[in-house]
Amino acid sequence: MPERLYDVVIFGATGFAGRLVARYLAHRRPRPGVRWAIAGRDPKKLRELARELARELEEPEPPILVADSHDPVSLEAMAAQTTVICTTVGPYAHHGAPLVAAAVAQGTHTCDLTGEPQFVRRMIDAHHAEAEARGVRIVHCCGFDSVPSDLGVWVLQQAARERLGAPCLRIEMVVEAIRGGFSGGTLTSLGNVLTEAKDPQTRRILGDPYALAPGAPRGPDRGLQVGVRYSEAAGAWTAPFMMAGINERVVRRSHALLGLPWGEGFSYHESMRAGPGLRGRIRAGTLAVGLGLISVAMGTPPVRRVLQATVLPAQGQGPSEASIEAGFFKIHLYGWLEPGSGERIEVVVRGRRDPGYGATACMLAESALCLATDPLPERAGVLTPATAMGGALVARLDATDVQFEVLDAPTQG
Ligand SMILES: NC(=O)c1ccc[n+]([C@@H]2O[C@H](COP(=O)([O-])OP(=O)(O)OC[C@H]3O[C@@H](n4cnc5c(N)ncnc54)[C@H](OP(=O)(O)O)[C@@H]3O)[C@@H](O)[C@H]2O)c1
């Protein structure tokens, strides 16, 4: 790639998530060395943000680039100036496609926060082959969905090879504890996925557990958990996990991109712990019903608009600084060499601060730095965090806000 003016440009820097990413990069980027700029559609908002960041850091203002997600000329001009574009302009199904096209045309890597399976599938169909041929890494899902799951599986499989001599054929992820909120942008993106699900082609993608691994042999997984289920591994009743719809498919795409090294029978499942006993079962049922009701409400645009105008955050708004600081997550991955076998490996992934905002700002910013500056696997195309960055991103996150731990003495079961 020819020398570019910038290493990383944050596109959408004036939005709720974008400001957190810009602030993370402003404070925590290595200095000297990383050349960065903020970008967006509104020059006035960008100038205000640049002034704010300069005041906080007692540094010169970061440079500003103006581009609109629907103006391909402005996107290509932005892409031509940087090694990596880190974009928080969503919903990605509305705004993301022209940027990916511009990045592939200009040989620029991208990372983003999408959790929209139908958008990722469209980008795979439209751009994977060309991006691969041009050596461009388009890395979707670099936030809470799906970095902890995708890299958690990657870490678990490395440990399984080292300790058990083979990768695990079955992995189960259970969200043990989580505290976080939602921004208006996330709710709008979620609502858009549910609204688009009314289209039969999109519904097919959203109903297919292997939708992000087109062309690869299909494994045994049948679909998402919808009701309550007892997890022997966690020793607790579980409810469906809201992000499983994207996370499970990202893990399966990683497996397909790697050439199915974990076996054609590899199976992956996600859920959320509700607790043991009757209380746990009732709680799991309540969570499952609540999730169903949220999905119906957010998938009905007039209801969503009323909720966002009254009780829920509107676009541009999100959790307070105090609640972002108070947030956290802990997920547990259990892997078995064979389904039903006693020998297993366990990995815990812990994140500080609100998973969707504090920890996500860290995961996305570190992904951008990783793509811009780290030695990476010789792989290109429409990739996943694990296949694009693997151990390089694990090492970065371990040194910051998201830690991966392989348990020394896994429980038997
Ligand atoms: N995966 C995760 O864990 C995770 C976590 C958080 C967020 N997200 C996703 O990240 C996305 C952003 O969320 P958010 O809460 O930050 O939303 P937001 O506050 O509404 O921000 C959206 C950004 O997009 C910009 N934008 C809108 N239309 C544009 C256009 N035509 N051209 C250029 N920029 C445009 C907005 O610019 P202005 O500032 O000028 O309005 C704003 O900067 C959503 O899709 C959300 O689902 C994912």
- Residue with the nearest Cα to atom 46 of ligand 1? 186
Contacts of 286 (CB under 8 A, 6+ apart): none
- Residue with the nearest Cα to atom 13 of ligand 1? 185
Distance of CA 259 from the midpoint of ligand 1 (Å): 34
CA–CA dist 95, 14 (Å, integer): 15
- Residue with the nearest Cα to atom 19 of ligand 1? 316
CA–CA dist 58, 355 (Å, integer): 29
Distance of CA 35 from the midpoint of ligand 1 (Å): 23
Listed in sequence order, the DSSP H helices in 10-146 are 16-28, 43-57, 72-79, 92-106, 117-134
Where do the domains of the chain lie? 6-140, 147-181+198-298+319-355+401-406
Listed in sequence order, the DSSP H helices in 241-311 are 244-257, 277-298, 301-309
- Please choose from 9, 16, 19 the residue to mutate so as to test ligand 1's pocket, defined by most ligand atoms within 8 A of CB: 16
What is the domain class of 6-140 according to CATH? Answer: alpha beta
- Please choose from 11, 21, 41, 140 the residue to mutate so as to test ligand 1's pocket, defined by most ligand atoms within 8 A of CB: 41
- Residue with the nearest Cα to atom 27 of ligand 1? 89
How would you write the pLDDT of the chain (413 residues) with one tens digit per residue? Answer: 558 999 999 999 999 999 999 999 999 887 778 999 999 999 999 999 999 999 998 889 999 999 999 999 999 999 999 999 999 999 999 999 999 999 999 999 999 999 999 999 999 999 999 999 999 999 999 999 999 999 999 999 999 999 999 999 999 999 999 999 988 888 888 888 888 888 999 999 999 999 999 999 999 999 999 999 999 999 999 999 999 999 999 999 999 999 999 999 999 999 999 999 999 999 999 999 998 888 888 878 888 888 878 888 888 899 999 999 999 999 999 999 987 777 889 999 999 999 999 999 999 999 999 999 999 999 999 999 999 999 999 999 999 999 999 998 665 54
- Please choose from 38, 89, 308 the residue to mutate so as to test ligand 1's pocket, defined by most ligand atoms within 8 A of CB: 89
At residue 332, the pLDDT reads 97
Using an 8 Å Cβ cutoff, are 327 and 355 in contact?
yes
User: CB within 6 Å of ligand 1 — which residues?
Assistant: 12, 14-18, 40-42, 45, 68-70, 88-92, 95, 113, 115, 143-145, 183-186, 189, 315-316, 318, 356, 360
Distance of CA 150 from the midpoint of ligand 1 (Å): 23
- Residue with the nearest Cα to atom 42 of ligand 1? 15
Distance of CA 120 from the midpoint of ligand 1 (Å): 16
CA–CA dist 224, 162 (Å, integer): 30
In ligand 1, the atom with minimum distance to the C-alpha of 142 is 1
Distance of CA 239 from the midpoint of ligand 1 (Å): 29
Q: What single string gives the DSSP state of each residue in 133-151? A: HHT-EEE---BTTBHHHHH
Distance of CA 371 from the midpoint of ligand 1 (Å): 21
Is 0.85 topped by the overall pTM?
yes
Both structure tokens of 258: 């790697």
Both structure tokens of 64: 């500003």
DSSP conformation class of 331: E
Distance of CA 15 from the midpoint of ligand 1 (Å): 5
- Provide the 3-class DSSP secondary structure of residue 334: strand
CA–CA dist 98, 71 (Å, integer): 8
Distance of CA 130 from the midpoint of ligand 1 (Å): 27
- Please choose from 111, 186, 192 the residue to mutate so as to test ligand 1's pocket, defined by most ligand atoms within 8 A of CB: 186
